[in-house]
Structure 1
Amino acid sequence: MAKVAFLLASGFEDSEMKNPYEAVKEAGHETVIIGLEKGARCDGKKGTISYTADLGASEAKADDFDAVIIPGGGAPEALRVNDDVVRFVKEINQNDKLIAGICHGPQVMISADVLKGKEATCFIGIRDDVKLAGAAYHDKEVVVSENLITSRTPKDEPAFIREILAKLS
């Protein structure tokens, strides 16, 4: 079974965390929530759910994980400016491990400079940023490109989750 990191800060899109997180756990994989600080409370932007960070980004080591999932909403903006978050995602990518981002999640991928030469999708509001980061943008429910999986919005969650579980198995 895989050990999967979920990168989280307050303001995340509730369902984009809850649904993949529960699906990955139900599939038998180990889940670890990585926040800006260990023990930090992360609240969903709709207020339906909150989580506590199991690990701070400064403690996260790519060698300890098989994959990282980045929910969207406002959280990626807070995560992408944290040097430890960016380092962690870069290291995951250098080891060709799975990086999955939905909605605004690819903002963290942009800051970690992992999109060059890949294909991706995202929330339309960051489409130009994804293109400028070197990815070929596709307006599709899910795009799998080597070790990356990206999706656009909560309505794409079933396809996003399906591809994550396929890669982890």
Structure 2
Amino acid sequence: MKKNQEKVAFLLADGYEDSEMKNPYEAITRNGNAAVIIGLEKEAELRGKKGTIAYTTHLSIDEANPDDYRAVVIPGGQSPEKLMENEAVLDFLRDANEKGITISAICHGPLLLSKAGLAQGRHFTSYAGVAEEIAKEGGVYSDKPVVVDDNLITSRGPDDESYFIEETIRKLGVSAY
């Protein structure tokens, strides 16, 4: 890893929204950061819900340590719902949040934050169809392209990716993409 290069974890399972993985991943690596894909299993090939891309996990969640990362990105689609039943994923997010690590979640991604108990009293945005569920867990919803609440960054969906990426990269302290 190069000097000043930050490691960014991508929490991923099958069925993610293709562009919500591809575009942040490419922007973060283009800025010289290391992207590490963490899934339920190591070296698993995961496909986007539209079938336009596939990524292979670098680590399983059981091998991952939040201390190794400057940020965590959670793409939307069906991936967050598949990850939210895994206690190691939830513990990873709780630990990252406690340490103030940036956590960026888009579309259905904030559901995972809610399941980890991180929504209470926090401002967020998400895919409109899941906003009520997160609000039931104490989250304060705003219908905006991006919401930043301390270390949490959330966005509504693919149309807001540029805002999502810009805020995530800004938190990393590197130039805009």
In the TM superposition, what is the alpha-carbon distance from 1:114 to its structure 2 partner?
1.0
In the TM superposition, what is the alpha-carbon distance from 1:71 to its structure 2 partner?
0.1
Determine whether 1:103 maps to 2:103.
no
**1:152 pairs with one of 123, 133, 156:** 156
- 2: distance between equivalents of 1:83 and 1:147? 21
- 2: distance between equivalents of 1:73 and 1:117? 24
In the TM superposition, what is the alpha-carbon distance from 1:118 to its structure 2 partner?
1.1
- 2: distance between equivalents of 1:157 and 1:63? 26
The aligned amino acid for 2:100 is D
**Cross-structure match for 1:45:** 49
- Specify the SS of the correspondent of 2:55: strand
In the TM superposition, what is the alpha-carbon distance from 1:40 to its structure 2 partner?
1.0
**2:37 pairs with one of 33, 36, 39:** 33
Q: What aligned pairs does 1:18-167 form with structure 2 within 5 A after superposition? A: 18-167=22-171
- Specify the SS of the correspondent of 1:86: helix
Q: Which runs of 5+ in 2 are unaligned?
A: none
- Specify the SS of the correspondent of 1:150: strand
- 2: distance between equivalents of 1:117 and 1:136? 6
- 2: distance between equivalents of 1:86 and 1:105? 12
1:129-148 Cα distance to aligned partner (Å, 9 max, x none): 11112111000000000000
- Specify the SS of the correspondent of 2:32: coil
In the TM superposition, what is the alpha-carbon distance from 1:65 to its structure 2 partner?
1.0
- Specify the SS of the correspondent of 2:168: helix
Taking structure 1 as the reference length, what is the TM-score of the superposition? 0.98
The aligned amino acid for 1:90 is R
In the TM superposition, what is the alpha-carbon distance from 1:63 to its structure 2 partner?
1.0
Aligned residues: 169
Taking structure 2 as the reference length, what is the TM-score of the superposition? 0.94
The aligned amino acid for 2:63 is E
- Specify the SS of the correspondent of 1:159: helix
